[in-house]
C-alpha cells in the first residue's frame, strides 16, 4: 500500500503493474530449499487491493529458468512475464548472438505452461540488469566483454541494433503482448552517455532498431525466414491495408550478401551487424 500511495501522490497513471516476492529475485537451484515466502495467491490479492482496476502481471523479474522452476498461479494474473540475458555463461560476440537461437524454445515452453495467457518479455538487454545467481552484477568500468556484467560496450554500438532486431524475430511467433529490449537512458538506454562514439544524448544505433519495432506494433506477424538464420534473421509484419514491412539483421562480423529479388530488387550487401528495412 505504501508504493501505491507514492504512485498516487506522484500522479502516475499506470496501465499495468507486475509483482514478485523479493526472495524470488534470487535463484533457487533444483534440490535447494525454497526460501520462506507468502503464498503467491496472497501476494496477488494484496496487489489487487493496492492497485484496483490496474492490470496485474506476475512471473519472474529474472529469467525463464526461474519461472520454470517456480510456476506462478497465472489464473489470478492478467499477464505473465520474465526476462532473459545473453551473458549469463559467456560474453563473446558469437555466444551472445547464438543465444538468440534459444528464444523460440523458451517462448514455446512458456506457452506450454501458461497457454494463451497474455505474455510479456523484458526488460531484456545484453548487459545483466540483475543477477539472480549471486550477490550482484559485475562492475565493468573497462568496457570489456565479460559475463554477468552490469554494462556492456556492445549496447552502444551497431551490434545491439542487430541483436535487438534478431531478438524480436526469434520471439515474434509467440504472440507476445509486449516486448521490452531497452530503457530510455543510462547503460540500458537508447540514448548515448558521455564518452561514447556519438554525442551524449544522441541516439545510439539501437534507437533505430527500437523505433522500427515500435512501428511494427499492431501489424500482423508474417512468417519470414532466411536460408541461413545463423547469419541473417528476418522479421516481417503486414498492415491492415496489406502493406508488408520486412526487417533484416546481419548477426555476423562479416559482410553478407542477401538476395532480395523477391522484393523487386537485386542483391543486398549487409555490412557487419547492419539492420535493413524493406518496404
In contact, 85 and 47? CB cutoff 8 Å: no
Sheet holding 275-278, edge to edge: 220-222, 232-238, 244-250, 275-278
Reduced to 3 states, what is the DSSP secondary structure of residue 211?
helix
Provide the grid cell at 6.
507514492
End-to-end CA distance of the chain: 48
pLDDT of residue 205: 97
pLDDT of residue 277: 98
pLDDT of residue 204: 97
In contact, 207 and 191? CB cutoff 8 Å: yes
Per-position pLDDT tens, the chain of length 279:
689 999 999 999 999 999 999 999 999 999 999 999 999 999 999 999 999 999 999 999 999 999 999 999 999 999 999 999 999 999 999 999 999 999 999 999 999 999 999 999 999 999 999 999 999 999 999 999 999 999 999 999 999 999 999 999 999 999 999 999 999 999 999 999 988 888 999 999 999 999 999 999 999 999 999 999 999 999 999 999 999 999 999 999 999 999 999 888 888 999 999 999 999
In contact, 57 and 77? CB cutoff 8 Å: yes
pTM of the full predicted structure?
0.96
Amino acid at each position: 500500500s505504501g508504493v501505491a500511495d507514492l504512485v498516487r501522490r506522484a500522479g502516475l497513471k499506470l496501465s499495468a503493474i507486475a509483482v514478485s516476492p523479493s526472495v524470488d529475485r534470487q535463484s533457487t537451484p533444483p534440490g535447494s530449499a525454497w526460501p520462506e515466502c507468502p503464498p503467491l495467491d496472497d501476494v496477488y490479492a494484496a496487489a489487487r487491493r493496492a492497485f484496483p482496476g490496474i492490470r496485474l502481471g506476475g512471473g519472474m523479474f529474472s529469467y525463464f529458468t526461474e519461472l520454470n522452476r517456480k510456476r506462478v498461479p497465472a489464473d489470478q494474473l492478467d499477464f505473465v512475464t520474465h526476462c532473459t540475458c545473453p551473458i549469463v555463461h559467456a560474453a563473446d560476440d558469437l555466444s551472445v548472438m547464438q543465444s538468440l537461437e534459444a528464444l523460440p524454445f523458451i517462448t514455446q515452453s512458456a506457452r506450454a505452461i501458461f497457454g494463451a495467457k497474455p505474455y510479456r518479455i523484458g526488460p531484456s538487454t545484453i548487459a545483466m540488469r540483475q543477477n539472480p545467481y549471486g550477490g550482484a552484477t559485475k562492475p565493468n568500468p573497462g568496457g570489456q566483454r565479460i559475463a554477468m556484467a552490469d554494462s556492456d560496450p556492445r549496447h552502444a554500438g551497431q551490434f545491439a541494433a542487430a541483436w535487438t532486431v534478431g531478438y524480436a524475430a526469434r520471439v515474434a511467433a509467440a504472440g507476445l503482448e509486449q516486448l521490452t529490449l531497452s530503457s530510455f537512458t543510462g547503460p540500458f538506454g537508447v540514448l548515448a552517455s558521455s564518452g561514447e562514439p556519438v554525442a551524449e544524448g544522441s541516439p545510439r544505433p539501437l534507437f533505430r532498431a527500437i523505433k522500427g519495432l515500435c512501428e511494427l506494433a499492431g501489424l500482423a506477424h508474417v512468417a519470414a525466414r532466411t536460408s541461413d538464420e545463423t547469419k541473417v534473421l528476418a522479421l516481417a509484419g503486414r498492415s491492415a491495408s496489406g502493406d508488408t514491412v520486412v526487417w533484416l539483421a546481419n548477426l555476423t562480423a562479416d559482410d553478407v550478401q542477401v538476395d532480395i529479388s523477391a522484393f523487386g530488387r537485386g542483391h543486398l550487401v549487409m555490412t557487419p551487424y547492419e539492420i535493413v528495412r524493406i518496404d
